[in-house]
Amino acid sequence: MRSERQPRKCDDSATRRPQYTIARDYIAAGVSVIPLRMDGSKAPAVQSWNEYRTRFATDDELRSFFANAAGIGLVSGIQSGGMEVLDFDEQPDETFDQWLNLLPANLLCRLCVVETGGLGYHVLYRCVEVSGNTKIAMTAAGGVLVESRGEGGYIVGVGSAAGVHQSGSPYVQVRGIPLPELPTMTPEERKILWCAAASLDERPDPMAEYVRQRRSELRPSIESDTSTPWGDFDRGADWLDILQPHGWTTTNGVSWTRPGKQFGTSAKIVVAKDGTEVLTVFSATAGPLAAEGVGHRTWGKFSAFASLNHGGDRCVAARAVIAMGYGRAGQ
């Protein structure tokens, strides 16, 4: 699903800086540059661009590259000082906002964000650790929600002629220190960015499904305290029965989308150390189950049931689950 946002307008052509000058500034800042075609393909406008993964273009090459309108390609990876990019292209508004909500404030204030010609988002940074191009989070149907551009990749740079993208829209920086300067992330900070992105993955987890099936098969033999209504409910209730009546939706029983939202992962079910299934909520706008701040929140079945149906009153919730038949084994 593409964004319904309107594309940002290009700068007036009379005041726009020459692309040669912009490209030269990128190189001065340590970012390798290549020219891109103006046919909407974003493909390199040179026979081979691999050599610019190990060297910068000369001034004569830059003048030749940008004698006419062309896109400015920024080569990611080691040659550009460890530049890496997180690319939010499919369902960009939902996915990007959800990702931002998972980040701590000290990273949010340093992000360098570019709105792409396709109304997606690029997040640019440098790190001493850089990988290749990686699909980090995908939809259940196989679409790419978040992927990286690292060693062996390139992106369209801000300052490119608008025709480089098939939409005819420009690439515009919307956040962070002005390009061509880039923020530097530590390996630990980069890990936070990637883990937040990976948590948005909507693909079914085969191992989680297997564990769920085996737990269901073995449930009668699991040693657990089912003498209390809440303990019995945590073991025996089904998350479908708890969440669906309140507008939560799922395609695989593991990843859940909060009420009022049509797609994206707002929460995931995982198996706790005691063998019970718990719900980890990432969304800060998930009603009574919402995460706090930019972190996450974990719910057991009974506590979620009490919060959703009884305002968190566990005594009232306990009477309700007893009426359903839970907790009677210990009576």
Please give the CATH superfamily to which domain 19-198 belongs.
Answer: Bifunctional DNA primase/polymerase domain (3.30.2250.10)
Q: What is the pLDDT of residues 204-244, one digit of tens each?
A: 665 555 555 555 544 443 344 556 888 888 888 899 999 99
Sequential pLDDT tens for the chain (331 residues):
445 555 555 544 434 689 999 999 999 999 999 999 999 899 999 999 999 999 999 999 999 999 988 999 999 999 999 999 999 988 898 899 999 999 999 999 999 999 999 999 999 999 999 998 998 888 877 889 999 999 999 999 999 988 888 888 899 999 999 999 999 999 999 999 998 998 888 876 655 555 555 555 444 433 445 568 888 888 888 999 999 999 998 887 888 888 888 777 888 888 776 677 889 888 878 889 987 655 678 899 999 999 999 998 888 888 898 888 887 654 4
Among 163, 159, 154, 161, which residue's Cα sits nearest to residue 173?
Answer: 159
Cβ atoms of residues 145 and 138 within 8 Å: yes
Decide: 201 and 265 in contact? Cβ < 8 Å: yes
- Of 125, 237, 249, 128, the residue nearest 177 (C-alpha): 125
Instruction: List all residues 6 or more positions away from 29 whose beta carbon is below 8 Å from its beta carbon.
Output: 180, 181, 182
3 state DSSP class of 105: helix
C-alpha–C-alpha distance, residues 100 and 79, integer Å = 28
**pLDDT tens per residue across span 122-154:** 999 999 999 989 988 888 778 899 999 999 999
Q: In this structure, are residues 140 and 202 in contact, taking their beta carbons and an 8 Å threshold?
A: yes
* β-pair type (172-175, 144-149): unpaired
Q: Which region, left, alpha or beta, applies to residue 42 given φ > 0 means left and ψ of -120 to 50 means alpha?
A: left
Domain ranges of the chain: 19-198, 206-330
Distances (CA, A) of 2 to 86, 145, 167: 18, 12, 12
Select from 102, 87, 201 the least CA-distant residue to 133. 87
151 DSSP β-pair partners? 132
